[in-house]
Amino acid sequence: MGYRVVVAGATGNVGREMLNILAEREFPVEEIAALASRKSLGTEVSFGDKTLTTKDLDTFDFTGWDIALFAVGSDATKIYAPKAAAAGCVVIDNSSLYRYDPQVPLIVPEVNADAIEGYKAKNIIANPNCSTAQMVVALKPLHDRAKIKRVVVSTYQSVSGAGKAGIDELWNQTKGIYVPGQEVEPSKFTKQIAFNVIPHIDSFMEDGSTKEEWKMVAETKKILDPKVKVTATCVRVPVFVGHSEAINIEFEDFLDEEEARDILREAPGVLVVDKREAGGYITPVECVGDYATYISRIRQDSTLDNGLNLWCVSDNLRKGAALNAVQIAEVLGNRCLKKG
Ligand SMILES: NC(=O)c1ccc[n+]([C@@H]2O[C@H](COP(=O)([O-])OP(=O)(O)OC[C@H]3O[C@@H](n4cnc5c(N)ncnc54)[C@H](OP(=O)(O)O)[C@@H]3O)[C@@H](O)[C@H]2O)c1
pLDDT tens digit sequence for 209-256: 999 999 999 999 999 999 999 999 999 999 999 999 999 999 999 999
pLDDT exceeds 80 at position 195: yes
Look up 312 and say whether it is catalytic: no
Q: Are 157 and 316 in contact (CB under 8 A)?
A: yes
Q: Give the model's pLDDT for residue 1.
A: 81
Return the H-helix or E-strand segment holding 146: helix 130-146
What is the 3-class SS of 161-197, one letter each residue? HHHHHHHHHHHHHHHHCCCCCCCCCCCCCCCCCCCCC
37 lines ligand 1 (CB under 6 A): yes
Per-residue pLDDT tens digits for 271-286: 999 999 999 999 999 9
161 lines ligand 1 (CB under 6 A): yes
Q: What is the DSSP letter of 240?
A: S
pLDDT band at 340 (very low <50, low <70, confident <90, very high): low
Q: 141 CA to middle of ligand 1, Å?
A: 31
57 lines ligand 1 (CB under 6 A): yes
Residue positions in the annotated binding site for substrate?
Answer: 157, 236
Residue positions in the annotated binding site for phosphate?
Answer: 99
The amino acid that residue 106 corresponds to is: L
Does residue 340 or residue 139 have the better pLDDT? 139
Task: Tell me how far apart the alpha carbons of residues 332 and 125 are, in angstroms, rounded to a whole number.
Answer: 10
Per-residue pLDDT tens digits for 51-106: 999 999 999 999 999 999 999 999 999 999 999 999 999 999 999 999 999 999 99
Look up 243 and say whether it is catalytic: yes
pLDDT exceeds 80 at position 315: yes
